[in-house]
Structures are given as structure tokens and as C-alpha cells.
Structure 1
């Protein structure tokens, strides 16, 4: 476990330190009620917050499930939680209790977007279903993120990222041909679904400008992950071929894979005829590149084993740095296969604002930035990931005008806690 006393020993201490600031303001004036837990919903809400929305993270007693996901922890907070919860204010409401539910509905009435990630049956039971909440606020954009969607026989089935990846087919096409199916090395379904939800919610807000009413956004982890495979699925639908695992060596582009060099592997993508010929010029075998046997991508696909063997034999004669230097000069798409620590230490990515540390209570909180630049500027956080319930009183007073007595009644075990 890491705490602020020893964070200097960790990579976060080597990152650029960013000050809190206004950040992007495109969604300034929009208020989001984030009732979700884990990754997909909180990530969606964070993206909206990154774009300027005021995000109120409503947690039930005990808090977001992800707060307990660790180790690793930083200052007693899960680093997974920290990764998807900046630019939010946290309040605790037990909306299974009458007073807590009443306070939640008061908040709904003054919000633009609500995000939930519980199945339709549960939302109905809790009184946070779209029909109930949109009756309170017809301008509300209701966003549901579940494993399988709000309707259908699977709507009530439990789901995590792993389950969605299995359903989507991505695991079946990932890994070596003789190996086991592999999960993507990140919560891909969660992150894609979170992006989809933020995008759809913003589009619904745009529509609301002309209609005056909100809407109901239904995002499923499985749907988002399947769409991620669109190129593979459409190819199957159009030709009947079922793609299989191949260690990433079966792209529609003939040469689009990794190769070993004298020291470290490289990736190489020869995506058109011009690149193909330039590549062989660099390797000192222009006659190979200009051969009529390999003049089109289709021909190169037929001869792939021969071509791959020829490339591999040559690349083994020099180091990765040698080849990448030559490829860059010739504008050949190629690169290293970085470890996570190498990615985090990448100065170019740091300069683009993708990695930075926030100062908090004398310590550092590492962050991965929004990853979007607008008007030539990167985005930085307005607020750190919140501690559980730290803004409860502030939000109830500011947004709802609750007085001391009303807040005390909630803190008294009837709906909330500090």
C-alpha cells in the first residue's frame, strides 16, 4: 500500500505536476447525478465532468464498490477508483430509506443528466427508473449502463467487463492460435460503454435544445464491445469467414504485426503499395518490393508466410532502435511494444497532458488526462477524486437549500451520512 508519505518512491512523483484549474468548459452549467459504481458509469460521469459539467456522485452507505478494489491503494483510496472519479463531488444518500429517496428526487429535479448502472428491475424497486425520474423532471437525460441493456431476457443478468468481453467475441480473436482465449489487458467493455454513454448523453442534451425534453439512453457493455469488433463482424457477415486467434497476425492488411529485432520487438504496418515499396528500399531489397508477385495487398496476403519469413530474417540483424530510426526517416509506420512504465514515462505523452499528478493534502494523486486537446490546450482537473461523502452537506445546502435540521435528520440514520 502506498500513502502520501512514501509516494515519492513511485512513478507519480516523476510526472508533471498540474494545478487545479477551470479545465474545459463546454458543459459548464450542466449538472450530472452519478448514481453508478465500479468503472463504466463513473468513467462516463468523469468524462462529462472533464468537459465542464458539475458532477454529483451519489453513493449509498459503504460507497462505490471500486473504493475497495485493491491493492494497490493510495492514501487509503483504491487507485482504480482514483482513475475514474476526478471532477466530482461525493455525497452519501441511503435512497432505500424514505428521507434519502426524497433528497435524491429533489436532486433529480435540478439536474440535467442522471447515470445509473443497475438493472431495470432494481431501478424500479429503488424508485430510480426512467419513468419515475423523468416524471419529476421531463428535461432529464436518463442514462442506463448495464451488461445487456434495459430490455430483453438478459436485462436482469449480472455482468462485469470480463463477462461482456466473452459475449462480444473479442476474447476469441485475442491471443495466440494455440493458446487460450484472452481478455483485453484493460477493462475495455467498461471504458467503451462509458464513452458511449457520455457521447449519447451529450447528443441528447443537444437534441433537448430544440425539443425541450430529455430522453432515455440505454447503453450495454456487450453492445459497446461488439461494436468495437465491427470490422471483424462485418467481414464475417459479408464473406462467411469466422476469424480466429492468430496472435495478431491476420489483419486484412498483409503485413500488419509484430516482429523481433536483435534486441526488442517492433510493430510494423505496411498499409499501402507506396509504403510497401519504401519499406523494401530501406531494407536494401528494392527488387523484392517491386516484384509483380507482391504488387497488391491481395497478392501479398497470399504470399504472407514467405514475406513474413523474409522480413523477420532481415530485422534480426539489427536492433530495434536502428530499424525504428530508419523507418521514421522513410515514413514507414512502425513502433515499439511499450511496457506500461515506458508509456507513463513517455515525455511526448506527458507534454500532451496525458499523464500528470495533482497535489492533494500535501501529496500527489496520479491521473491519466482526458486525452483530448481543444484549441491547442490539454485539460486538467478542477477537483480531485472525492473522499466518500465529503461534499454531502455542501451539496444539500447549495443545491437544495436544506437547513441544519433537515441535514441532521438525514445524518441521523434516516437517509445519509457524513
Structure 2
């Protein structure tokens, strides 16, 4: 969870940025995971992101929320749009919302009825909470022996940390990523997006697919254990492996200490750019294009190892020449010459990227007359990007329909549950 970034808001009379996104009509949703049905007991970000990925791929997701309260992220506002928290809307399309108090025995029985009809259960509750409520793997397996039970937590389902609370910030700190993020001599920095939540959620979806494939082959269910700290630490594999195998402890450097020379941000006459000279051929193309061909005659710079050894001198020369022209000059030149380089986009520039919009990654959906922005799956199958069927749902919007259509409850039974405050 990351809600500390500062915001620059448009003037009240200005149209919202989402008004400029292509409006996508319902339909065209991927069906690769149909008819997989997922019972989503998660809240906040990592778990809902996992089920959003599964939903985008075609799974039917039934989102269980607390009556009158709902998912925690419904209350993470501002920012909001038409009274709804945008963080919630970011990861909850293509889901049906059912309100259910399963902390009470009768509500738990309803939950188990739902589990019988589902292929997957995903939870981000601590192990002790799962056991207390009677919604752990053993309870779910008792009603659905081949269930795939995905438990997403901070530290895993066993060990001395298993029941410790954990958020994205905590996981990033454990993983080492914060220690290596920021300028040399500066404070450790959190990644600018909830990286551990998103990586952990992505791992949960990936592991769920693997478990479903194995179940199709063997008929066996699985308990899948995903920890935010594990996922974030695996993200650090290149850095961690370098330390383990060399003993050299990297420190914060403002991303100026890559194993590649040169691979960093450079200032130009106006806006900064990124520049990645990752092999000898790219190095030669860059030097020729930028007017630094003289460096090619220096035998000490003929390969990456040499350029790493003389990094300070190389960086000084590159910085000097790049400062003579503006960003667009260099990006156009490097694009023609096949030199990897790019802008450092602000989010407003990302949102306006015509290619991202064309590929279906950025779009808006109509939810009761409001254009709600979406960041899509970003994966295409046979040329098709993931569509949607259901906008981010209102709290409990589908409770009655799910209980009657899926479980066969009578209208009277549903009314009784509502009178008791269970739904």
C-alpha cells in the first residue's frame, strides 16, 4: 500500500485526464480461464490484484466483502471519482461483489456453500485468523477436496513471523530494495508504486494457474503459500546473487552502479533521458552517432569490463555531449541509430501515450454514466487485449444474484439472511 505520494490536481474546471482515454464498451473479455470460479476473500491491494489478473484472463471471481464496510481499499480516498476510491477501482473490475459476515456461524455456512461451487479460494488473512474463523485450507478442503487454496500473506503460512502484520512498505524494507533505492548518501526510498503488493499478487495468480494445471492432470488440490517478502526478495535476485557470489555489498547510488557501463539517467539541455549501452555493438553505434567516435580508439574501453573500470571517465564524456542538445534531439537520433534510450515520463505523459492506448492498456469504462479509467492486463492473446464485462462493483451489488443463481437459495432465505445482518 502506498498512499504517500504528493499529487498535482487539475483545475476544477479542467476535464479529468480519464476523459481523454478511449472508451471501451463491455465485451471482448478473454475466456482462457473459463469456467474457473474463484472465491476471493482478500482485501486491500495484493490479493485483489491477484484476482483481478485471474478475472482479466476469464475466471469468474466472487468477491466477498464485509457488510456495510467492504474492502479496505474502498476507503482509501482521496483520490476518488464519483465518490468511489480510485485505488479500489484499479484492481476490482470483472468481479461480482457479495457481502457476507462469515465471522458468524450461519454466515460461515453460506461461505462454505460458495466454496463448494468454486475451484479456487484466495485469502490474505493471517493463519491464526483463518483458523479462528474456520476458513483455512483444511476447512475448505473438507467441502471441496480438490480446492486450490491460495494464501497470500506478508511472511508465509508458517514460521515465527507467520502471524505478523505486513504491508507493502514493510515487505520492501525486508527485501533490500529500499536500501538500494535513492541517491548516494541519501535516505532509503520506497519504490514509487506498491511493488511488493503487485509482485505478490502477480505471484499468487501465477501459482494459482500452475496449481490448476496440476489439478487438471492429477485431480489434486493444493495449498499455495505466497509471501510478500519472498516475492519482493526474489525481485532482488540479480543484486542479491551479485553480493552472494562476490562479497561486494552494493549501496545506494541513484541507479549509477549497474553491472553495465553505461546504463543510467543523463541530463540533456532540457529534460533527462535514460540511456542503456548494454553491449559492444550498441556502444559503437552510440559513440558514432553522438560524436564520441574518438572513444572507440581507446583500447581500454573496447568492452564492458573496461568501461566499468573507467566508468567515471566514460560517464563524464557522455554527460558532456548529451548536455549540448535537448531530449527530443537525442531520442530521435538514437531511435534512428538503434541506440536504446527513452524519456522519463511523468504520469500525465504515460496516460497520453497513444501506443499504450492503442494496445488496450489504458482505457475508460462507463459506470453509471461516469468514465472510470482502467489500466488493463497488458498481455495480448492472438492480437486481442483483455476486455471487461463488469465495472468495479458497488458494495454487495451481486449478493442476491449469486446466492439465488449459484447456490439456489430462495428469495425468502436471502431475505432472512439480510434481516439478520449476515449479508
In structure 2, the partner of 1:260 is 267
- Partner deviation per Cα, 1:192-243 (whole Å, 9 max, x = no partner): 0000000100110000011112101100000000000000011111111111
Give, in whole Å, the separation in 2 of the partners of 1:85 and 1:67.
Answer: 10
Give, in whole Å, the separation in 2 of the partners of 1:271 and 1:167.
Answer: 30
Q: Secondary structure at the match of 2:379?
A: coil
- Among 305, 315, 318, the residue aligned to 2:322: 315
* Structure 1: gaps of 5 or more residues: 1-5
- Among 159, 163, 175, the residue aligned to 2:170: 163
Give the direction of change, closer, same or farther, for the CA distance of 1:7–1:124 in structure 2 (3 Å limit): farther
- After TM superposition, the score normalised by the length of structure 1 is 0.97
- Partner deviation per Cα, 1:17-70 (whole Å, 9 max, x = no partner): 101104111001000000000000000001000000100000012100000001
2:361 equivalent to 1:354: yes
2:289 equivalent to 1:282: yes
In structure 1, the partner of 2:26 is 20
* Structure 2: gaps of 5 or more residues: 1-11
How many angstroms does 1:414 deviate by? 4.6
Aligned pairs for 1:4-403 (under 5 A) are: 9-61=15-67, 62-403=69-410
Task: Report if aligned partners of 1:30, 1:53 keep a CA contact under 8 Å in 2.
Answer: yes
- Partner deviation per Cα, 1:329-381 (whole Å, 9 max, x = no partner): 11000000000110010001110111000012112110001000110111121
* Greater CA drift, 258-267 or 7-16: 7-16
- After TM superposition, the score normalised by the length of structure 2 is 0.96
Give the direction of change, closer, same or farther, for the CA distance of 1:31–1:57 in structure 2 (3 Å limit): same
Q: Secondary structure at the match of 2:121?
A: strand
Task: Report if aligned partners of 1:7, 1:13 keep a CA contact under 8 Å in 2.
Answer: no
Task: Report if aligned partners of 1:34, 1:115 keep a CA contact under 8 Å in 2.
Answer: yes
Give, in whole Å, the separation in 1 of the partners of 2:332 and 2:322.
Answer: 13
Q: Secondary structure at the match of 1:279?
A: helix
How many angstroms does 1:8 deviate by? 7.7
